[in-house]
Amino acid sequence: MNQPVQRAEETDVVELRVPCKAEWVALARLSVAAVASRLHFSIDEIEDIKLAVAEACTNAIQHAHGSSYIEIRCEALADGLRINVRDYGRGTRPESIRSRELEDERVGGLGVFLIRSLMDDVSYDVHPEQGTQLVMTKRLPV
Amino acid sequence: MNQPVQRAEETDVVELRVPCKAEWVALARLSVAAVASRLHFSIDEIEDIKLAVAEACTNAIQHAHGSSYIEIRCEALADGLRINVRDYGRGTRPESIRSRELEDERVGGLGVFLIRSLMDDVSYDVHPEQGTQLVMTKRLPV
Amino acid sequence: MDIKVNVREAQGDCYVVDLGGEIDVYTSPKVKDAIGELIDRGVYHLVINLEKVRYIDSTGLGVLIGGLKRVREHGGSVNLVCTNPQIKKIFDITGLVKIFGIFESEDAAMKALV
Amino acid sequence: MDIKVNVREAQGDCYVVDLGGEIDVYTSPKVKDAIGELIDRGVYHLVINLEKVRYIDSTGLGVLIGGLKRVREHGGSVNLVCTNPQIKKIFDITGLVKIFGIFESEDAAMKALV
Ligand SMILES: Nc1ncnc2c1ncn2[C@@H]1O[C@H](COP(=O)(O)OP(=O)(O)O)[C@@H](O)[C@H]1O
Ligand SMILES: Nc1ncnc2c1ncn2[C@@H]1O[C@H](COP(=O)(O)OP(=O)(O)O)[C@@H](O)[C@H]1O
């Protein structure tokens, strides 16, 4: 979001920045759903993408203390949609970001698990001082 | 959108950047409508805001030659919503941006007229080389 | 593309164009093509039914005005069916109510045409 | 706030919580409060009707799990009514189908409770 992306191969990029507050997650969800719909994902796939984006935003709100904004970058790929969610909060240790054991009946700990279950490629880039960046891709069915 | 906005007085700001292409106007419309709905505008007011944003985007697409992106900034005010739509196209002469005469039955020329009719404060900032910036406000009824 | 365009023949030499969805800078070329094709075929009396249109902006209005201008050259006319208050409002504030016949039902639009 | 929460008494000492709309990080506190209040009042047999819920995320699931844990301490139970396939899928992939009773109708959820 900090520098305009203008490449030779024209991939469409949509960027959204929302306050890192609970009341703006619905907007993030809706906007990304509209991008996914534009790229002809099915209704079920759009629901998966919405949920993954919401979980990422929720984690930024609940764990990325000190982040004012959440930035969401959607990149239209030839075969799918790559979504980048980043915050500028305190971040965490990489080993904290893991899916829970399903046997474990805790109240929390489902967010990362859902993101990994619903999206096709998921990677976290965690900087304790500079926040957390999540890159996830949903592929269009072939 | 180029530098994070973090002020003492915390006004919520939502920023969206979409490719300057016709197929992304629906997304811009929908996202801004969601912001307006969050700020408790009525359904009619939301429709006004959607249309004004769409007209601004359409003008960027049709007239701002050379702009890759349209940037839309929504700022929640105590008494309304301020929306900033900017492109990085060739821009125009300030005197070109005017509402048409309604008697004039031309095919075009309704966009700026609609923006001025539907929004409460409208101002254009035109830079022939750096694109066009439109700032418009919709006030919440008192 | 959230636009539906359907052309059907009605009584006489009159045609109805049903539009549905959202008419904007992206979708209006499809509407323009459909109306243009009809006029090319010599149809100059049109009812355009906007009842299922949820959204229209100036590019959509431009297409309607363009169609009207073309049929008028042949003594034709365009009547619109429009029930959505937000869309009616746009025809009001742009003054287009004065150049289009705007009706609450297809029946009324048709009767006024012939 | 796009969430609807309605609590109503059904037969016996059983209560039904009707939820509607979207349950996320913003709206789930309202759901949590409603369920918490019931439990505080000593209601340990709950049916939570999710039929009108269009969306739920992990914060919503967390509220349901939290409620279940609290009533279980008193020998209670929570049965869910859920017909939306996307929401069922979330209970499936998270394994929560194994800890909640999930039913197709309120009747079935109620019968299984008592
Ligand atoms: N954006 C983030 N900033 C800081 N920590 C994060 C972020 N996202 C995830 N985490 C870490 O990953 C953990 C697992 O997240 P999750 O599976 O969503 O469960 P929960 O949020 O309920 O703890 C969190 O507890 C937190 O420590
Ligand atoms: N973003 C923009 N970049 C360059 N020119 C613009 C822009 N927005 C508006 N204009 C100028 O203002 C004029 C009036 O716009 P409008 O009322 O929407 O009618 P139309 O687009 O049909 O000409 C345009 O013809 C154009 O010259």
Question: Which residue of chain B comes nearest to C66, CA vs CA?
Answer: B107
pLDDT bracket for residue C84 (50, 70, 90): very high
The per-residue pLDDT for B8 is 40
Question: Given this model, what pLDDT does residue B99 score?
Answer: 65
D71 touches chain A (CB under 8 A): no
Q: What is the mean pLDDT of residues A112-124?
A: 96
Report residue D46 as tokens.
């709950």
pLDDT per position as a tens digit, A47-94: 999 999 999 999 999 999 889 999 999 999 999 999 999 999 887 777
Question: Domains of chain C: which residue ranges?
Answer: 3-111
**SS3 assignment for B26-68:** HHHHHHHHHHHHHCCCCHHHHHHHHHHHHHHHHHHHHHCCCCC
The answer to whether C59 contacts B58, with C-beta atoms less than 8 Å apart, is: yes
Rounded mean pLDDT of chain A?
Answer: 88
pLDDT greater than 90 at residue C48:
yes
Measure B86 CA to ligand 1 centroid, in angstroms.
36
Q: List residues near ligand 1 (CB under 6 A).
A: A 59-60, 62-64, 87, 89, 91-92, 96-97, 108-113, 132
- The minimal CB distance from A16 to the residues B2, B6, B16 is found for B16
Give the Cα separation of C95 and C88 in Å (integer): 11
Q: Which CATH architecture describes the domain C3-111?
A: 2-Layer Sandwich (3.30)
In the predicted model, is pLDDT for residue A8 greater than 60? no
Q: Determine which of A128-132, B32-36, C89-93 has the lowest per-residue pLDDT on average.
A: A128-132
- Kindly indicate whether the ipTM for this predicted assembly is greater than 0.85, answering yes or no: yes
* Segments in chain D below pLDDT 50: none
For the segment B92-115, the average pLDDT, to the nearest whole number, is: 74
In chain A, the percentage of residues whose pLDDT exceeds 70 is 85
pTM reported for the whole predicted model: 0.91
pLDDT at site A86: 96
What is the mean predicted confidence (pLDDT) over B55-60? 97
Tell me the three state secondary structure of residue B120. coil
Total H helices, total E strands in chain B: 3, 5
Please classify residue B1 by burial: count the beta carbons closer than 10 Å to its beta carbon, then call 0-12 exposed, 13-18 middle and 19+ buried: buried
Judge whether C81 and C103 are in contact, CB under 8 Å: yes
